[in-house]
């Protein structure tokens, strides 16, 4: 049995002729900003991929099929319809069987990208090991999926609300390469630095393309993580965010917020503490990582063509 895929004409043509394509998650449309800002931001992200030299392919589930390349009408519909479920990789089978709509997270987007033959995916930030995971065992499915999907991920690190030290340790344990693009530090979403040094820094697009191919040529069927920090003028200071997170964690414990609800709770608390600046920075991160993803995917496609041409 093959999972049914529905390609947009543009994405199908790009894959057929060997143009670079970057997959994008649909969860940011349905569970991020409110309508119509969510639709406008999704279109800006797709334009950023194009500015980087690649074709965007926002992925979702609709009508029992994995959509690879949402049309403008798809984006508008997903942005306006309330209650579309967030679908992680473990949920894809039941949601496809049900025939409804589903917004894909980082983990499920990696599954969709690999099924579609798209080797690059861009996101604002990945999930990771949550603070207090020693007791809660709360570890994002994103980290597990990196070990299973042969897709290069371009992002601005992981959210500051996570335990970023343990997140890096987990990635090391699972042999997932972590490369920081033109930066010495592992970024933290809309903070330029998490306070942790990156395992490796690379500044050249072509070198990164070769590194990704080498990783897979060595027999690894796993992801490759490339981080790029938000632009300085759009970043928020780490100290300000840390203070808001400490207060929000205490409030969450008091209010009994746990499990999947904790991320949204903490992010909203940080947004309130920063008077909305974190939400604006979130949009900026989505766009900046998408442009870098487009550039790196284009470099990767050029390198594969050179290798194929001898």
- Report, as residue numbers or ranges, the catalytic residues: 25, 159
**Collapsing DSSP states into helix, strand and coil, what is residue 231?**
coil
**What is the rounded end-to-end Cα distance, in angstroms, of the chain?**
36
Distances (CA, A) of 236 to 34, 181, 271: 22, 19, 11
Alpha-carbon torsion 167, 172, 176, 182, what sign?
positive
CA atoms within 13 A on the CB side of 116: 35
What lies within 8 Å, CB to CB, of 219 at 6+ separation is: none
Which among 160, 113, 158 has a CA at the least distance from the CA of 140? Answer: 158
């Amino acid at each position: 049995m093959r999972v049914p895929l529905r390609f947009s004409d543009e994405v199908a043509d790009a894959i057929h002729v060997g143009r670079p394509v970057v997959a994008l998650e649909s969860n940011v449309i349905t569970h991020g900003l409110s309508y119509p800002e969510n639709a406008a931001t999704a279109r800006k992200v797709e334009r950023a991929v194009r500015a980087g030299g690649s074709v965007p392919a926002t992925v979702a589930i609709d009508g029992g099929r994995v959509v690879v390349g949402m049309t403008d009408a798809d984006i508008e519909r997903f942005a306006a319809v309330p209650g579309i479920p967030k679908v992680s990789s473990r949920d894809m089978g039941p949601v496809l069987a049900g025939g409804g709509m589903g917004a894909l997270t980082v983990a499920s987007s990696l599954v969709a990208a690999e099924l579609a033959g798209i080797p690059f995916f861009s996101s604002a930030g990945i999930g990771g090991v949550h603070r207090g995971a020693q007791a809660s065992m709360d570890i994002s499915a994103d980290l597990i999926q990196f070990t299973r999907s042969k897709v290069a991920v371009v992002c601005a690190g992981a959210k500051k609300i996570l335990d970023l030290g343990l997140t890096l340790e987990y990635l090391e344990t699972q042999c997932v390469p972590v490369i920081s693009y033109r930066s010495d530090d592992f970024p933290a979403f809309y903070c330029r630095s998490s306070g942790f040094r990156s395992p490796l820094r690379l500044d050249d697009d072509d070198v990164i393309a070769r590194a990704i191919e080498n990783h897979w040529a060595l027999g690894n069927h796993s992801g490759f993580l490339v981080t790029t920090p938000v632009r300085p003028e759009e970043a928020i200071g780490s100290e300000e965010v840390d203070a808001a997170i400490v207060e929000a964690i205490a409030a969450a414990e008091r209010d009994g917020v746990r499990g999947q609800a904790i991320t949204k709770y903490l992010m909203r608390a940080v947004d309130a503490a920063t008077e909305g600046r974190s939400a604006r920075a979130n949009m900026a991160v989505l766009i900046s990582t998408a442009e870098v993803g487009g550039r790196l995917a284009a470099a990767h496609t050029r390198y594969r063509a050179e290798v194929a041409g001898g």
